[in-house]
Amino acid sequence: MDRLLQLQSLSRDLKFRRASLTGVFLTQMSGAQTVTSDPRHLQNLVASFRVHGEPPRPGFRETLIFSDPTGGDWYYNQRILRTEEIWEKEHEIQWREVERLMSLEEADKKDNLYVNGITGLFQDSLTYSECHPSLRTVEMGNRIVAPAFIELQTNGCLGIHFTNFEDERSYRENLQKVSRFLAEKGVGGFYVTLPTVSADVFKKILPHLRPREYDGGAALLGAHCEGPWLNPSKKGAHDASLMQTPSQTSIEQLYGDDDSVSAIKMVTLAPELDGSNKLIEELTKGHDIRVSLGHSAADFDTGLAALKAGATSMTHVFNAMNPLHHRSPGLAGLIASEESPYFSLIADGIHLHAATLAMAFHANPHKCILITDSVEMAGLADGLYPGHAQIPHQQRKRGNQVTIEGTDTLIGSCSSLDECVRNLKQWSGCSLAQAVQCATENIAKMMGLEDRGVIEVGRRADFVVLDDTGQVLETWKGGKLAYQRG
């Protein structure tokens, strides 16, 4: 199932196979221990050796006791190998034999999941170079393991809007609250979205959004600035009076100095504005910032020109842009083009009809990205809530829908990312693995993340445990349990 593996409870060995997933966690041992070898386990190793290769050479000890140059007791798939000095000539075990023994189940290694509890990274198998490791076995049962989700676009939750800044301490505490809340939804990392606000607000907040890890919560991966270079005719819930034209402003004027700009990982802008392509080149080449097209009235050709300038994605496709027309496809038509960019979709059943969502996904599954575009009412009860720096109006929450009071203008969503994954699976008919990819691997590829988003050796052991329906049961960060459903 590609990056998604079905887990079966087979044995304490926790071996991953395509239909069975295991997790082995390495932790530092405290003090020296001596463990007597279990003959039954060792005999199994010998039997495996004989099946997969030539029989042990004469004098090869059935107990398979061998020496490790670093010392210590070693565990391999819970078959305990006691370390001793036994370099007798007639019974010497060469390291090449040891290496061969470790590679007998090479097929298993490809499907096994090992996590190093010291580094917090996935590794391919246990090795003899680890320092006094001990195995911890985690029984997973009939559950599913996938990479932890990545939230590309969230404006806040739990009454916290990211544009509200009172002081550094409270803002830092609010980020930690959001981090823990998102971990409950299977999220391992998130980008703080700052909508169109004044330059003073951008400059005040951005320095506090540089990437960092949080204990027991999702990591802050940086900022996504959705504005202020947007088209007022497609403002949505943004404040049109604060929107700017690229040819008349600069990155430094609106976002601040290098300390602020370094926190920005993505900018959404309208490509039809004067000076947009030059700005796209400056953002991408000069600052290594991803550019997404959105809140725009651009036509198809203008979108293509923006892609050639360096843009790589589109923000909440179909929302705040011209509708798809058979003779004038607009930005949405880029989804099926040869130069197709990544494109994000709000799969809450409010911003998009289920059929529209399914159509967009099937047009290019490997470029499809799920976002929530959640606002501060996410996680709160229905009701009327005050505005903030982005929206100076009261906001009405009804279920997952939030609108400006007295209008039908959508502000954002209150859906969670795991809910969006389940919705995509249900409405498009895709597999759960394909839906998860839109909230993990696709985002990692678009954002150039090489440390997360995929379960593979060398990446962070950030993963989520799901049931068959896609409900989040556990979230693990760096090989440590961050959330477990009660």
* Active site amino acids: 373
CA max distance for the chain: 89
Q: Which of 281, 411, 270 is nearest to 330 (CA)?
A: 270
Query: Exposed (0-12), middle (13-18) or buried (19+): which is 187, by Cβ within 10 Å?
Result: buried
Under DSSP, the state recorded for 218 is P
| Cβ atoms of 343 and 296 closer than 8 Å | no
Angle formed by the axes of helices 354-363 and 417-428, nearest 10°:
80
Please state, in angstroms and as integers, the Cα–Cα distance from residue 366 to each residue in 151, 315, 461, following that order.
Answer: 17, 16, 23
Cis peptide before 365 (omega within 30 of 0): no
CA pair distance 371, 152, nearest whole angstrom: 6
Q: Which residues neighbour 106 within 8 Å (Cβ) at sequence distance 6 or greater? A: none
Determine the 3-state secondary structure of 289 from DSSP: coil
Token pair, residue 397, equals 């929450």
Q: Within 13 Å of residue 317, how many CA atoms lie on the same side as its CB?
A: 29
3-class SS string, 89-103: HHHCCCHHHHHHHHC
Q: Which of 324, 323, 364, 372 is nearest to 341 (CA)?
A: 364
Token pair, residue 301, equals 């050709």
CA pair distance 171, 200, nearest whole angstrom: 16
Q: Which of 84, 66, 64, 75 is nearest to 132 (CA)?
A: 75
Token pair, residue 434, equals 């394909």
Query: Exposed (0-12), middle (13-18) or buried (19+): which is 129, by Cβ within 10 Å?
Result: exposed
Q: What is the DSSP track for 99-133?
A: HHHHTTTHHHHHH--EEETTTTEEESS--TTSSSE
CB atoms within 10 A of CB 439: 30
